[in-house]
A = this chain, B = another copy of it.
Amino acid sequence: MNFGSDNQSGVSPAVLQGIVEASTGVAGSYANDHWTQAANAKLSDIFEKPVQVFFVATGTASNCLALSALVQPWHSILCHSQAHIAVDELSAPELFTGGARLVLMGDDGGKLTAQLLSDTLQKLPADRPHNQIPGALSITQCTESGQVYSVEEIRALTEVAHAAGLRVHMDGARFSNALATLECSPADITWKAGVDVLCLGASKNGALALEAVIFFDDTLAKDFDLRRKRSGHLVSKGRLFGAQMCAWLENNHWIKLAHKANEVALALEHCLKQHPAIQLAWPVQANELFAVMPTALFERLKTEGVRLNE
């Protein structure tokens, strides 16, 4: 049994089939292929407005390239202290933005709140030109602890952010799992709630290597092709991404995969709740589960071959 990170699992047969089909024959390079174009059209359809889409291979590239379109080097980016950009992406945010600084909020594994954001903004020193100017808010949906923001919570956050002149980025590495939990459309929980750019991750939910930077505001996407190329993220055989995305979206496959992952997590939560020695750090809201257990039990599980992340 393996309860490691969701990036250790394989590729969904449907997505793999998409890759296989796209791998033969000649096609335009550098995203000038019909799979990429079809994927873009499909995403505009799903998000209920024309969106600007750029595919890359990793979540770090996706997040940090997106942020680089929102801020200048003298800006700060406000995010949760456990956010992936804060904890798991080395100093990629600094490299891509040319030196913008992260401001961390929230100590535990919970969600950001409009109140916390508002308080943080108020406390930040604001003596120009000596201090960073807040430039962007980054929200993770679902959070690193598996919590899901409601539409109202997102809207409250983006309202505070926009009022203070910040752009809003959503790290959606597990966006599909959040969608499966929420009763809302992709548009409702993104641009209609004030999100300026979404990093939609597929790699952790059935794809091989596929992340999409999706701009809801065309002006922000203006030079993004140059940003992507300059950082070495423009893949020559772009159909690799286009084909995965087409297959992933086809027949609501992405949402079905997310539902399944969420259900497994819920079922596991149900089981673990029976076990007196195990406590759950947070209620399961999507596909992540954080169990607190005695060291002895943890070691026994590992001995028996169960794979866990510490």
Contacts and interface: CB of A to CB of B under 8 A. Distances in A.
Interface string A109-142: 0000000000000000100111111000000000
Pick the most buried of A64, A98, A236: most chain B CB atoms within 10 A of its CB.
A236
A204 B24 CA distance: 14
Contact of A26 (B9, B58, B101, B102): B9
Interface stretch (A152-160, A225-233, A286-294): A225-233
Pick the most buried of A73, A88, A131: most chain B CB atoms within 10 A of its CB.
A73
Q: Is the interface of A mostly helix, strand, loop or mixed?
A: loop
A72 interface: yes
A194 interface: no
Nearest to A98: B98
Interface string A217-260: 00000010111111111111100100000000000000000000
A185 interface: no
Interface string A25-64: 1111100000000000000000000000000111111101
Nearest to A25: B10
A98 B74 CA distance: 13
Contacts of A129: 90, 225-226, 228-230, 234
A95 B99 contact: yes
B91 A132 contact: yes
A87 interface: yes
Nearest to A94: B99
Task: Give 7 nearest A-B pairs by CB, closest first.
Answer: A61-B232, A94-B99, A7-B236, A129-B229, A11-B23, A60-B232, A74-B226
